Amino acid sequence: MLRPGDRLSSVRQAATQHGLSITTVVRAYELLESSGLIESHPQSGYFVRARFTAAALPASPDEPGRSMPLPVSAEVDVSRHVLATLKSIHQHDAVPLGSPYPDPLLFPAHRISQYHGSVLRSGGPLGVLDDLPPGHPELIRQIVRRHLETGLSISPDDVVVTVGATEAINLCLQAVAKAGDTIAVESPTFYAMLHAIERLGMRAIEVPTDPRLGMDIAALSKIMQSQPVAACMVMPNFQNPLGFEMPEENKRQLVELGARYNMPIIENGVYNELYFGNAHPSVLKAYDKRGMVLYCSSFSKSLTSAYRIGWTLPGRYRAQVEKLKFLNTLSTSSLPQRAIAAYLTAGGYDRHLRRVRRTLQQRCDIMSAFVGRFFPAGTRITRPSGGYVLWIELPAAIDSMALYRQALAEGITIAPGRLFSTSDAYRSFIRLNYSYSWTPQIELALRRLSELAADMLD
């Protein structure tokens, strides 16, 4: 009945109309807002929100084009570069434009600490054997509840709690492939995926990826017809570094392709809560009818990076993943699991996420406009539909590794494109983190970075 822009009844009017308490109406409006159906305007009330589909936006000539990697399986050796970059972020108070983590000030650290203390004071077992795999029951219950609210029908028996999403990804990959196997990845891809492949002695083959549509399903199918591919690792929502949200039809086709070739798909969903659109994105797992999709996520990017708590929904591979979890790390620390479970049980997670999403979208707009204005002519940037990173293509003459070194010497960190591929295909690309508050320090760092890039063209 209501159209985008129409005003809803006030909280008091709705309470009277439906014979409900004000608290119930407020909660209902909050759920509608978290689902992207309505939005609140300060001192004006609630309004129907216009629908938004990132994939429907037209491509811009100022965006990087679709990647075209060679369909060749390659050894992976990126860990040295990544480790050096991560170490540099915390040296000499460097400006963290290259950080892979969101600004910790976005998180409710004080609230989490309160629940941490409350769990300690309550007593009870907190030993390493108290939360053996699959994990703490109350945390698992809250994870299942969250998935049910966002449209994925699962049960507590589907979940294995891990030490962050990194362990989840490693365990899943170990469960479905062995040393020497070839793993299909997006190009460019998040280096945590490449880490897992490198660690287990596997090989990677990069699949052409569009900065708006995601992995090219037809290209992947062609690769699979010509050579064996043991598994596929993807980030379909707000991929790092491209920031796209894969269209629904593409998600369905990818899952169907995996089922046709009996190929497991490891889905990294760590950024799924950080969407800019009106509704929570769907996941590949929702299209999975044979248990071939192994979903991985964590609270590190949406709630707290201090506690490395993640989980996986490994489908038909659950028994292997749980066994590997036990063999690798025995169990996940009990206290962080219980503290996060207590926070989720108390409510407030959706309110926190709404604030984080609004903040990230604002900061994305600011940094995108700044880069577009001050960086050298010919610079192209992605238009993320979620997450907190920008993928930037600089003029071809600029070497991003040389730019990284020069910027680091001046106390500025960036992530050079070399980290996101097994090849040197992204020599002139960089990734920037826009999650931090826009301060004079950030602005000066970006201005200086644009000057260093321009100097490389002279």
Over the stretch 208-229, which tens digit does the pLDDT of each residue have?
A: 999 999 999 999 999 999 999 9
Is the domain spanning 11-51 CATH 3.40.50.1220? The answer is: no
Question: From the CB of residue 54, how many other CB atoms can be counted at a distance below 10 Å?
Answer: 21
Torsion of CA 105, 106, 112, 113, to 10 degrees: 0
Is 416 strand, coil or helix? strand
What are the extents of the domains in the chain?
11-51, 77-106+351-455, 109-349
Q: Which of 42-56, 141-155, 326-340 shows the lowest mean pLDDT across its residues? A: 42-56
Beta bridge partners of 416: 430
| pLDDT score at 35 | 66
Dihedral sign of CA atoms 231, 235, 241, 245 in order = positive
Residue closest to 284 by CA, chosen among 312, 253, 263, 311:
253
Residues 223 and 228: their CA atoms lie apart, in Å, by 8
In the predicted structure, residue 443 carries a pLDDT above the cut 70: yes
In the predicted structure, residue 130 carries a pLDDT above the cut 80: no
Q: Mean pLDDT of all residues in the chain?
A: 90
Residues 49 and 358: their CA atoms lie apart, in Å, by 14
Q: Which of 70-79, 125-134, 177-186, 323-332 shows the lowest mean pLDDT across its residues? A: 125-134
Residues 276 and 387: their CA atoms lie apart, in Å, by 8
| pLDDT score at 52 | 45
In the predicted structure, residue 4 carries a pLDDT above the cut 50: yes
| pLDDT score at 57 | 41
Cβ-based burial of 403 (10 A; exposed 0-12, middle 13-18, buried ≥19): buried
Which amino acid appears at position 254 of this protein? L
Residue closest to 110 by CA, chosen among 343, 344, 308:
343
* Section 343-361 average pLDDT: 94
| pLDDT score at 126 | 62
In the predicted structure, residue 140 carries a pLDDT above the cut 90: yes
- CA distances, 419 to each of 23, 28, 83 (Å): 49, 44, 10
Residues 409 and 411: their CA atoms lie apart, in Å, by 6
| pLDDT score at 72 | 77
Share of the chain above pLDDT 90, in %: 73
* Section 26-43 average pLDDT: 81
Beta bridge partners of 390: 432
What would the CATH number be for the domain defined by 77-106+351-455? 3.90.1150.10
Backbone angles phi, psi at 182, to 5 degrees: -100, 130
Query: pLDDT for 266-286, tens place per residue?
Result: 999 999 999 998 889 999 999
* Section 444-453 average pLDDT: 97
Backbone angles phi, psi at 113, to 5 degrees: -65, -35
Its CATH architecture, for the domain 109-349, is 3-Layer(aba) Sandwich (3.40)
| pLDDT score at 336 | 92
| pLDDT score at 441 | 94
Query: pLDDT for 104-115, tens place per residue?
Result: 999 999 999 999
* Section 391-406 average pLDDT: 95
Using the CB atoms, write b or e for 310-334: b if 16+ within 10 Å: bbbbbbebbeebbebbeeeeebbbb
| pLDDT score at 237 | 98
pTM: 0.85
In the predicted structure, residue 207 carries a pLDDT above the cut 50: yes
| pLDDT score at 51 | 55
Do 77-106+351-455 and 11-51 have the same topology in CATH? no
* Section 47-61 average pLDDT: 55
In the predicted structure, residue 59 carries a pLDDT above the cut 80: no
